[in-house]
A and B are shown apart, each in its own frame.
Chain A
Amino acid sequence: MRRQILCLSTKITHNSCTKALPLTRFLSSQEAIDRRYHLFTLEKKRQLDKVGRVEKIEVQYKGVPNDCTLVMNKGISTPYDCARHLSEWHTDTSALALLDGSVYWDMHRPLTENCTLELQHFRVPEPQQVNRAFWRTCSFMLGACATVAFKDTVPVKLHSFPGPDIRSGSFIYDVQLPTLKDWKPSQQELITLSAEYVKLVRQNEPLERLEVSEELALEMFVENEHKTRQIPSIARNHGKVTLYKVGKHVDISKGPMISNTKQIGRVAVVSVHKLNGNSEVNQLYRFQGVALPTGVIINHFAFSILTERAKKLNTVKSPIPKPLEREESESIAMKA
């Protein structure tokens, strides 16, 4: 395993495509997570090194306390760095950056050119995009939660999650649990899942974004046949796959996502439904949860209404209904 990673890392650092040694044995899920994390960090380092000579860009900040101009590093500085120049409040509450009044940009994505910058938190007058990013992040974190919550004896294969639909009442992750047939989680198990989720949230990890080539993405998700099948259709347009990392968990998503997991406040994983009518993937389970951003104070009764509603099966675009529609729905799923 270590030999394999070593080989991969030398290939990446030498800036060539990753046609690595074929894996000689099955990866355990923890090994796979470590390997993916390792490849992610290496690729990120490589991309940062590729920036080379540092150039300056001017970022016009608009908003409280006053408009100002920040001189940042091209390809290195992120909106988060801009926020750090302003105040702790800005770094903590900003979930998304708005460039030039139209482009929504991740807080941890390097800026590439002169632009105007607005920082968006959850209480801006028009928070639709921030909400969508929040919901998407919650789905993403649910995948991370599902991978760590089970014992080693239960293999977990992440499938995909559909785009954020807040009005449906719950965020979703579809996960394949090949060894569990007709698993219906007890109340205790759901509480445990929620607790795992909260543990992940409390690690206060930033959500890092990285665009990688199709080959590398395939290499990273080599042990997950669902993702490897989805990657070509995702990469069809640009030849790039957008990855996000939180802690050690790496997953595919179109983004944008919020800045940090500590912006997820109250959260509950409320139900797991088995998806039926699906010939290709057996034992596909839909994990559902509901969450609110940090600082949103809501009455326990109101929150119980939300959790009760989220318990119903969320019928948003089951990602693999029929073989014909599969690719389309997957690309929809990956717009997430």
Chain B
Amino acid sequence: MNQAEVSKLVSKLRINVPPTHRKLRSPKGPEGRIDKLRKTVTGLVKFERIELNYNRADEARQYTERLISEAIRHGDCHKPTMDTANFWLLEKELIHKLFKVLVPRYETSNSSYTRLINAPKPQYGRNIDKVVLELKGNPFPDLINNNTNNKLLIQNVLLDAAKQDYRQSKINEIAKNIGKTENAPLNESSKKPEAPEKPVES
């Protein structure tokens, strides 16, 4: 009867989580899969930006998001969270990094903690999707730098000037119309006597 709300038990992730997990084939079976993911999560927390295949990156991303959100939610005095961190981070100094560095960094963020960016594929070779997985707020230079928001870029200067020009023309138009509307009531008042006549005519 008294069913708990799911969002109170598990923190809601800000990324898309597919309904089924990926198997990430390994001779060891499910355990091997978890080992792979632990290595990737550890690597991600350690280096903050890694390049890998899409499947593994997307899978590891979900675990990292979950780990960080748990850490933010419960803090470092919560035994189960500590155990989880201990399980996922193979290098133990990274547990300190998680609670001392990453938690303060993401506490106030309201988007996902990681970023997944498509990387170029090798021209000859196996056709596997490559991606770059990174923690947001890392110290490296941006991978995507299409900073087209710069107002000083030539296209923005041109468009801005065009916008201003357009507004000016509109303002001029309105200013003209104001002059007309001042005259208009006079016309209307002169026309008023005509208006009632119309129905009579019809």
Is B188 an interface residue when CB atoms closer than 8 A count as contact? no
Most interface-central of B154, B157, B158, B165 (chain A CB within 10 A): B158
- Chain A residues in 8 Å Cβ range of B160: 167
Is A131 an interface residue when CB atoms closer than 8 A count as contact? yes
- Chain A residues in 8 Å Cβ range of B162: 169, 305-306, 309
The docked-state distance in angstroms from the alpha carbon of A293 to that of B165 is 23
Is B155 an interface residue when CB atoms closer than 8 A count as contact? yes
- Chain B residues in 8 Å Cβ range of A306: 158-159, 162
16 intermolecular pairs with C-beta atoms under 8 Å apart: A122-B153, A123-B153, A125-B152, A128-B152, A131-B153, A166-B154, A167-B157, A167-B158, A167-B161, A293-B154, A302-B159, A305-B159, A305-B162, A306-B159, A306-B162, A309-B165
A125-B150 in contact (CB<8A): yes
Count A interface residues, CB 8 Å: 22
Residue from A122, A123, A126, A290 in contact with B158 in the complex, judged by beta carbons closer than 8 Å? A290
Residue from A122, A126, A166, A293 in contact with B161 in the complex, judged by beta carbons closer than 8 Å? A166
A123-B161 in contact (CB<8A): no
The docked-state distance in angstroms from the alpha carbon of A169 to that of B162 is 7
- Of all A-B residue pairs in the complex, the 3 with the closest CB atoms, nearest first, are A167-B161, A131-B154, A309-B162
Question: Measured between C-beta atoms, what is the minimum distance from A230 to chain B in Å?
Answer: 28
A292-B152 in contact (CB<8A): no
Is B147 an interface residue when CB atoms closer than 8 A count as contact? yes
B158-A127 in contact (CB<8A): no
Which residue of chain B is the closest to A135 with respect to CB atoms? Answer: B154
Is A80 an interface residue when CB atoms closer than 8 A count as contact? no
Chain A contact residues, CB within 8 Å of chain B: 122-123, 125-128, 131, 134-135, 166-169, 290, 292-293, 296, 298, 302, 305-306, 309
- Chain B residues in 8 Å Cβ range of A293: 154
B154-A122 in contact (CB<8A): yes
- Chain B residues in 8 Å Cβ range of A127: 150, 152-154
- Chain A residues in 8 Å Cβ range of B161: 166-169, 309
Chain B contact residues, CB within 8 Å of chain A: 147, 150, 152-155, 157-162, 165
The docked-state distance in angstroms from the alpha carbon of A127 to that of B147 is 13
The docked-state distance in angstroms from the alpha carbon of A305 to that of B160 is 11
The docked-state distance in angstroms from the alpha carbon of A290 to that of B157 is 13
The docked-state distance in angstroms from the alpha carbon of A259 to that of B16 is 46
- Chain A residues in 8 Å Cβ range of B158: 166-167, 169, 290, 292, 306
B154-A134 in contact (CB<8A): yes
Question: Measured between C-beta atoms, what is the minimum distance from B153 to chain A in Å?
Answer: 6
B152-A131 in contact (CB<8A): yes
The docked-state distance in angstroms from the alpha carbon of A302 to that of B162 is 10
The docked-state distance in angstroms from the alpha carbon of A166 to that of B157 is 7
Which residue of chain B is the closest to A170 with respect to CB atoms? Answer: B158
- Chain B residues in 8 Å Cβ range of A298: 155
B147-A123 in contact (CB<8A): yes
- Chain B residues in 8 Å Cβ range of A122: 153-154
Question: Measured between C-beta atoms, what is the minimum distance from A37 to chain B in Å?
Answer: 30
A126-B152 in contact (CB<8A): yes
- Chain B residues in 8 Å Cβ range of A123: 147, 150, 153
The docked-state distance in angstroms from the alpha carbon of A123 to that of B153 is 7
A296-B155 in contact (CB<8A): yes
Which residue of chain A is the closest to B157 with respect to CB atoms? Answer: A166
- Chain B residues in 8 Å Cβ range of A296: 153-155
Most interface-central of B153, B154, B161 (chain A CB within 10 A): B154
- Chain A residues in 8 Å Cβ range of B152: 125-128, 131
- Chain A residues in 8 Å Cβ range of B157: 131, 166-167
- Chain B residues in 8 Å Cβ range of A131: 152-154, 157
Contact A292/B150 with A168-B161, A309-B162 known, Cβ cut-off 8 Å: no
The docked-state distance in angstroms from the alpha carbon of A157 to that of B127 is 59
Question: Measured between C-beta atoms, what is the minimum distance from A128 to chain B in Å?
Answer: 6
Question: Measured between C-beta atoms, what is the minimum distance from A141 to chain B in Å?
Answer: 16
Residue from A168, A292, A309 in contact with B154 in the complex, judged by beta carbons closer than 8 Å? A292
- Chain B residues in 8 Å Cβ range of A125: 150, 152
The docked-state distance in angstroms from the alpha carbon of A167 to that of B168 is 14
A131-B152, A169-B161 known; 20 other A-B pairs, CB under 8 Å? A122-B154, A123-B147, A123-B150, A125-B150, A125-B152, A127-B152, A131-B153, A135-B154, A166-B154, A290-B158, A292-B158, A296-B154, A296-B155, A298-B155, A302-B155, A305-B162, A306-B159, A306-B162, A309-B161, A309-B165
- Chain B residues in 8 Å Cβ range of A302: 155, 159
Question: Measured between C-beta atoms, what is the minimum distance from A271 to chain B in Å?
Answer: 15
Contact A169/B165 with A305-B159, A306-B159 known, Cβ cut-off 8 Å: yes
